[in-house]
Structure 1
Amino acid sequence: MTADIDNHVRRLWRHRGTTLPAPRRGPAPQLDLDEIIATAIAIADAEGLTAVSTRAVAARLDRTAMALYPYVGTKENLLALMQDQASAMPQWPDPQTSLADGLLAWSTALFEVYLAHPWLTERPWSQAGQGPNEQDWLERLLGVLARWQVPADRQATAVTMLYATVRATAATTAAYDRMSTDDTDAWLARASAIQAAVPDLAERYPLSTSLRPVTPDWRANPRAAVTAAIHLLAPALTA
């Protein structure tokens, strides 16, 4: 394990038993790592992930970009630290009166975290932070599956399906929330133009044009789809 990886892991797990790397020489630390990460998260929440840089974070803290390096390491390390800290698992009612209830409670909680920090869904799977907060989510989900005796050979598939569904639907909801009235009007105008230009659209695509939405409110469809998907998945897991 290189020194850089070792230092990063110690930063990631700093609240779960590891100690932060300390400089061998020089002045005592003057910045707080949690504050640095919180500042970076605030930038991402307000302006998107592309706005995050060590320079931008340092400027808000009245420091130089180089001054942040001893605290967070590389920019990719900073993004991983942000990802884990923003993923902190909240408390939520977890009645677990059925497998579907347990899965829905977990999925709803994660959905809300993604809505609070939409940029989390932009981080590719290959860049999982591997920190304690992300690990908490997986452990909690596997606990639900174990409690309801989901066979071991189905658990990995269930995990993949649930994470992918929640991630995709939350990203869609966030995108809908960002749509302006002009965006909505433009979408409706295109739909009307297609109907006018292709009057036999329904005959060409009878299945897709007759597809019934999950709910009448298109903005609510992604969230409603999570609930519907869980009620489809839960019986199959224990059948």
Structure 2
Amino acid sequence: MSAQEHVRRLWRGRGTTLPTPRRGPRQQLDLDEILAVAITIADTEGLAAVSTRSVAARFDKTAMALYPYVGTKDNLIALMQDHAVAMPTWADPGAGYADDLLAWATALFDVYLTHPWLTSLSWAESGQGPNEQDWLERLLGIMNRWSTPDATRVTMLYATVRATAATAAAYRRMSSDDTEGWLERAQATSRLIPDFRSRYPLSTALPPVDPDWRETPRAALTRAVHILTEG
């Protein structure tokens, strides 16, 4: 599949139309339905479980039958990535820079938390589609409105949202056995290293970001946005 064909799929309905085969049988599948199935697999089983074969099997098709719709697996992942980050609708609070920025960051955080596999994709794997571009444009619009456009702030904010969402998703995956194991190790450390607090006085005296450790990532994101706007 050529780059042009892939871009036409990414931007379908947003300036381009889907390429159609010049010959052969009429297409029977819908690209949005294919991506919805692929995203469901990634959400429930992880990104490693996604392949053209596994997705095609949900439609009782072969991997080769899926190729005219999505191309290679890399093409499929890029299409999934952009499809999954479709921006929800929300109104900027308008009360201040920090509030508007936090509304943007929280919305993206929730998208990442819904589709945690998104945070496993590197920055170099941008899907380059319209939905991703919508997020950046919305962010820059907020910064321009408050006269604070800054590429460094943009990078810092994206990195913070991704990192906190990835941590929150990891916390969600923890079972009761995982939690108990962590507590057992912490208790064993206290018994075996009785001077642990005196060895590390600064880190052990650091107050928690949130009383509930499961809410720490979201609370940390909120605090980070305020620090960023104060700076």
Aligned to 2:33: 35
The alpha carbon displacement at 1:17 in A equals: 1.5
The alpha carbon displacement at 1:235 in A equals: 2.0
Per-residue deviation, residues 114-134 of structure 1 (Å, max 9, x unmatched) = 111111111111101000000
Aligned partner letter, 1:9: V
Q: Work out which of the residue numbers 134, 137, 142 in structure 2 matches 1:139.
A: 137
2: CA distance, partners of 1:196 / 1:132: 55
2: CA distance, partners of 1:106 / 1:145: 11
Aligned to 1:235: 230
Aligned to 1:182: 177
2: CA distance, partners of 1:194 / 1:93: 48
Per-residue deviation, residues 56-114 of structure 1 (Å, max 9, x unmatched) = 10000110000000110000000000000000000113122100011000001001101
1: CA distance, partners of 2:88 / 2:205: 40
Does residue 168 of the first structure (1) align with residue 163 of the second (2)? yes
- What's the secondary structure of 1:77's corresponding residue? helix
Does residue 192 of the first structure (1) align with residue 187 of the second (2)? yes
Aligned partner letter, 1:135: Q
Aligned to 1:48: 46
Aligned partner letter, 2:57: A
Aligned to 1:117: 115
Percent identical among aligned pairs is 69
2: CA distance, partners of 1:178 / 1:91: 28
- What's the secondary structure of 1:63's corresponding residue? coil
Q: Work out which of the residue numbers 166, 189, 199 in structure 2 matches 1:204.
A: 199
Unaligned runs of 5+ in 1: none
Aligned partner letter, 1:25: R
Aligned partner letter, 2:36: A
2: CA distance, partners of 1:127 / 1:96: 33
Unaligned runs of 5+ in 2: none
The alpha carbon displacement at 1:43 in A equals: 0.5
Count of residues in Structure 1 that have an aligned counterpart in Structure 2? 231
- Tell me the TM-score normalised to structure 2 length: 0.98
2: CA distance, partners of 1:136 / 1:6: 21
- Tell me the TM-score normalised to structure 1 length: 0.95
Aligned ranges for residues 12-161 of structure 1 at < 5 Å?
12-150=10-148, 152=149, 155-161=150-156
**CA RMSD, 1 decimal:** 0.9
2: CA distance, partners of 1:144 / 1:177: 31
Aligned partner letter, 2:163: A
Aligned partner letter, 1:117: H
Per-residue deviation, residues 24-59 of structure 1 (Å, max 9, x unmatched) = 211111111111111100101111101101111000
1: CA distance, partners of 2:167 / 2:72: 30
